[in-house]
Structure 1
Amino acid sequence: MEVELSTLFLLLVVAFTAGTVDAIAGGGGLLTVPALMASGMTPAQALATNKLQASFGSLSATVFFWRRGLLSLKPMLLTLLCTFVGSALGTLLVQRVDTSMMQWLLPLMLIAISIYFMVSPRMSDVDGERRMSSRAFAFCIGAGCGFYDGFFGPGVGSFYALGFISLAGMGLRRATAHTKLLNFTSNVASLVFFTLGGQVVWMVGLVMAVGQFAGGRVGAKLVFTKGAALVKPLLITLSLTLSAKLLWDLW
């Protein structure tokens, strides 16, 4: 697939913006997937190439958070494994079934999550009480959200964050850091199987990866310095925006 230089530059700018937003509250795919499809890609190519470039943004944010001491990798190993397997299974399944049901269900789920984020007293940078064991969390949130990310994807950052806050007892800053780690894991798993299917447009994806990597670092730094004061309103706004977009597309 041939892409003009001006189009590549625009995609690079979109990737930087999406990487910044995604590191803070998720939802970067709202910008990148439509941009990729507007460049002339098929839906499958757009989804696959989006996973490639998004992996660099989530990697950049994850490394930043890890270096700042917000991530503990060893306790997350089982969750990472479950997330990888779930995402791989979801990616394999989405190439064989119709996802139209998810287009109706997802907006309702995101609206419910937005309401929880608005009213919950747990939405702060202070850690709370853990309500689910690490093993149960790995199989329920890791595998479940990983499967959803591979199968459909929009809003998965909100689902990860909700799990870490409401079930793992994390404050919003730490929840965001761990969300990016799982985002990276599910992105890589999905990318592997999209690559095997020959759907990735590598030149475009790698150019956008540069923007994503830089944007991911900028967004992660904002989360580290601003915390819940920045993340909470963006999570709510992006969840509602994604809901409105999906409902508009259906209508």
Structure 2
Amino acid sequence: MRVLIVDDEPLARERLKRLVEETPDGQVIGLAQNGVEAVEQVESVRPDVVLMDIRMPEMDGLQAAAKLVELKHPPAVIFCTAYDEYAVEAFDVQALGYLVKPVNKDDLAVALKRASRLNKAQLSALGKRNGEDEEPVARSHISARTHRGLELIPIEEIYYFRADQKYVTVLHRHGEVLIDETLKELEKELGERFYRIHRNCLVSVAQLESMERSGQGQHKVKVRGLEESLDVSRRHVSGLRKLMQSL
């Protein structure tokens, strides 16, 4: 994985360089000290990932990222900053990750691994901006704030969304996170990829395996990759059965 490191502090650049080179497939192909240099180098060396500080002279990281997402084939951007108050702005410029300094080696490895799973089409989708009259593009990732910082979970790795009081649990291939969204919003956006099996649960259509009935008459659905079976409410049994017959 080809990585460009952008930071106005020489020691920070060298530390990130060392951490990247300690990851299995990390290759540092450039160093920049501000956003202007970052944009110039991205256009010349075409990195897969840009590790970028936010507070920098001439052009800060947020401004640089906003320019990068406009490219035909934008790199994945992971912010590495000493400040955690820019998370919302990071999402506005389609950042793939948000790590707070001092960056932990394991957290960096996880972020780079996640970036490596993105192909060019997905990166372009992350960077796509819509005009006011255009239809919104469904997200390719779900964002969550965790102890690692800002994480983006690929939609195709999610098993289900389950509502629990004011939060929604997202169970995915590598664990689970909490997000501050509603099932109704998620269903409206991701309705073709997730099916409501209960008032509190949306399941990935791609992961549906089978539906069964327990000895107590409760319908349950099996999801590929999960040991647990999920309850299906009575009102959704017929629709789910028709859906699974069409798969």
Fold in common (TM above 0.5): no
Q: Larger RCO: Structure 1 or Structure 2 (Cα < 8 Å, ≥ 6 residues apart)? A: 1
TM-score range, shorter chain: under 0.3
TM-score by length of 2: 0.23
TM-score by length of 1: 0.22
Q: Identify the structure with the greater strand proportion.
A: 2
Q: Identify the structure with the greater helix proportion.
A: 1
